[in-house]
């Protein structure tokens, strides 16, 4: 059955849930819109896979070794819907799954039509295997940030950030809402948020209670944040390097002074503590980066829509991910107009526009090396598990 007929049928029945339950309809979706390898890649690096080598969903679901899928792209292109639909599909194929949103502007709750707020794992209802959702909450991060500062007195995160020249920022984080700051971010804020995010992600991934989950799907923040998170180890390496040098100089100066007056070398103690903290942080960052780069366990899936702006941003995102050696194999082109034999003037214009953007993808040597999965623009909003299951069965095949 052509996609257009399917969608006509969907709008005629007006009952999306019924459609979702109808296996007959689901299995009859033919593939005018589906995975298709584009051109041969112009360059293959270890982290980049040829389109032809990219496995279909059957292989994404195979095996019980834990796998991470990170979905990212420009704001509003459908990252959350794609991530949530993938998580539902994994769970319905027997994988205990967690879907995590690291986007400060969460929409997992809206997508699942369930309250998933609170920064803790919440079970998602209506799936066959355990599926938990987690919205990493900026408010909670801020709270933890504050309590760490209070507990640690003269050391801890505040000191660390002070030491990194982010002192004003750490005060702002304590005083202000992250959401407000995000609207007009002062210099350094993104890095600070990325630092705290990366630490949370790592703690989450390494915690014993999560080891039973075999698929972890990340709904990442829009491009800029994700890239900063990835480039963080370099940023930290250079900042920490500079910091340590400075601290050593200060420590030796203060120890020289203190031994002159016969006092305890307290300055050196603080400097050593700080060095330890910075070292720990650097290690965490390195683990986050390693996780992102491990092609055996991790895949970053770029989500875009067929507009020139979104495609250009995807191209930049792809280039940056390659630079960071993050494995990228798939590109989801979401919200593609389904075929129709009778376009209205508006639809015809829109379709022309989309074709132009799809052409750009075809002619972009890097993007066309990815397996392109076209997902249709549905005529109903994708909300709730049945709708996500429906979407997942169309997209993840």
Ligand X SMILES: Nc1ncnc2c1ncn2[C@@H]1O[C@H](COP(=O)(O)OP(=O)(O)OP(=O)(O)O)[C@@H](O)[C@H]1O
Site residues (CB under 6 A) for ligand X? 75-81, 103, 105, 107, 222, 334-335, 375, 377-378, 381-382
Closest approach, Cβ 182 to ligand X, in A, equals: 13
Gap between the Cα atoms of 286 and 283, Å rounded: 5
Dump strand ranges (E) for the chain. Answer: 36-37, 67-73, 97-101, 122-123, 131-135, 215-219, 298-304, 328-336, 371-376
**100 vs 382 by CB, closer to ligand X:** 382
Phi and psi, residue 185, nearest 5°: -70, 130
Nearer of residues 334 and 368 to ligand X, judged by Cβ: 334
Query: Helices (H), strands (E): how many in the chain?
Result: 16, 9
Question: Which residues have C-beta within 8 Å of that of residue 58, sequence separation ≥ 6?
Answer: none
Residue in 52, 53, 58, 103 annotated catalytic: 103
Instruction: Residue 218: name the closest of 343, 311, 83 by CA.
Output: 83
Helices 266-293, 156-163: axis angle to 10 degrees equals: 90
The nearest distance, CB 101 to ligand X, in angstroms, is: 8
Give 37-61 as a DSSP string. Answer: E-SPPS---TTB--GGG---HHHHH
Which C-beta is closer to ligand X: that of 236 or that of 332? 332
Please report, in angstroms and rounded to a whole number, the separation of the first and last CA atoms in the chain. Answer: 17
| Cα 45 from Cα 24, distance rounded (Å) | 42
Taking the C-alpha atoms of residue 368 and residue 142, their distance in angstroms, rounded to an integer, is: 41
**What tokens were used for 240?**
């920490």
Three-state DSSP state, 183: helix
User: Is residue 276 annotated as part of the catalytic site, yes or no?
Assistant: no
Q: Give 176's contacts (C-beta < 8 A, 6+ positions apart).
A: none
Choose between 103 and 364: whose C-beta lies nearer to ligand X.
Answer: 103
User: Rounded to the nearest whole angstrom, what is the least distance from the CB of residue 226 to ligand X in the complex?
Assistant: 11
Query: Quick one: 283 or 381, whose CB is closer to ligand X?
Result: 381
Task: Tell me the closest approach of the beta carbon of residue 97 to ligand X, in angstroms.
Answer: 17
Q: Which is nearer to ligand X, 78 or 306 (CB)?
A: 78
CB of 301: closest distance to ligand X in angstroms?
Answer: 12
Min separation Cβ 295 and ligand X, Å: 24
β-bridge pairing 97-101 and 36-37? unpaired
> Annotated active-site positions, please?
103
């Amino acid at each position: 059955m052509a996609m257009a007929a399917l969608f006509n049928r969907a709008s005629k029945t007006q009952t999306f849930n019924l459609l979702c339950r109808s296996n007959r309809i689901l299995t009859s979706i033919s593939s005018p819109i589906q995975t298709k390898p584009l051109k041969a890649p112009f360059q293959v690096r270890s982290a980049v896979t040829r389109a032809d080598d990219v496995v279909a969903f059957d292989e994404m679901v195979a095996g019980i070794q834990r796998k991470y899928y990170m979905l990212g792209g420009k704001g509003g292109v459908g990252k959350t819907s794609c991530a949530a639909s993938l998580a539902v599909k994994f769970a319905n194929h027997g994988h205990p799954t967690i879907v995590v949103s690291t986007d400060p502007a969460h929409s997992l709750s809206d997508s699942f039509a369930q309250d998933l707020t609170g920064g803790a794992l919440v079970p998602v209802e209506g799936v066959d295997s355990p599926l938990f959702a987690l919205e990493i909450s900026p408010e909670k991060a801020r709270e933890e940030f504050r309590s760490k500062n209070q507990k640690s007195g003269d050391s801890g995160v505040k000191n660390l950030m002070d030491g990194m020249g982010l002192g004003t920022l750490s005060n702002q984080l304590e005083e202000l809402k992250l959401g407000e700051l995000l609207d007009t971010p002062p210099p350094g804020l993104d890095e600070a948020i990325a630092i705290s995010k990366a630490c949370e992600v790592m703690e989450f991934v390494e915690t014993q209670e999560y080891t039973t989950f075999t698929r972890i799907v990340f709904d990442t923040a829009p491009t800029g944040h994700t890239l900063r998170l990835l480039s963080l180890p370099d940023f930290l390496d250079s900042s920490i390097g500079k910091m340590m040098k400075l601290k050593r100089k200060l420590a030796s100066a203060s120890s020289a002074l203190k031994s002159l007056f016969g006092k305890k070398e307290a300055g050196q103690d603080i400097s050593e503590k700080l060095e330890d903290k910075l070292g720990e942080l650097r290690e965490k960052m390195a683990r986050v980066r390693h996780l992102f780069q491990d092609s055996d366990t991790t895949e970053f899936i770029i989500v875009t829509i067929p507009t020139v702006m979104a495609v250009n941003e995807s191209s930049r995102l792809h280039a940056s991910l390659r630079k960071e050696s993050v494995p990228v194999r798939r590109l989801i082109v979401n919200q593609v107009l389904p075929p129709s034999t009778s376009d209205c003037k508006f639809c015809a214009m829109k379709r022309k526009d989309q074709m132009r953007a799809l052409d750009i993808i075809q002619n972009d040597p890097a993007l066309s090396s990815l397996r392109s999965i076209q997902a249709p623009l549905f005529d109903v909003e994708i909300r709730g598990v049945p709708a996500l299951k429906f979407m997942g069965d169309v997209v993840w095949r």
